[in-house]
Amino acid sequence: MAADVSEHGTWYNPKHPEGTVALLTFRVLHRSAPPYLGPLVPVHSLPHRQSLRSTGTNRLLVPPVKRSTIGSRAYPVAGPKTWNALPEDVTSSQSEYTFRHQLKTWLFKKSFPDIII
């Protein structure tokens, strides 16, 4: 099935829903997503974490899951989990264009590890 494009330009591939979640999380972190999603994505840079190595990274806090059936699929959990699974060169992208390009490349390599790019 080919990737679908919505009115906002978000692509969705049913084989890689993490691509859609990662793109939404990128938009939240760069303030180009709806403002109500911002509080759902806590960043590691909290005042009491300044001495940790995670302070200099762009990793997100994954909240504890209360319900194992749907809790891990809720955006406040799935967004940070998906974002933290991405390599540093993908998450450090400054523009959405670069992020999407690197994300698609990473998803392709993840799906087809035997193909040399």
> What sign for the dihedral angle of Cα 58, 63, 65, 69?
negative
Pair of tokens at residue 10: 């978000």
In a domain, 117, yes or no: no
- Predicted pLDDT at 42: 66
Q: What is the domain count for the chain?
A: 1
Cβ contact 80:62 at 8 Å = yes
- Predicted pLDDT at 53: 45
In a domain, 42, yes or no: yes
pTM of model > 0.75: no
Cβ contact 35:42 at 8 Å = no
In a domain, 28, yes or no: yes
In a domain, 115, yes or no: no
In a domain, 55, yes or no: yes
- Predicted pLDDT at 86: 93
In a domain, 75, yes or no: yes
d(CA 67, CA 80): 17
Which domain range does residue 106 map to?
Answer: 4-110
d(CA 117, CA 115): 6
- Predicted pLDDT at 45: 53
Segments in the chain below pLDDT 50: 1-10, 46-55
- Predicted pLDDT at 64: 82
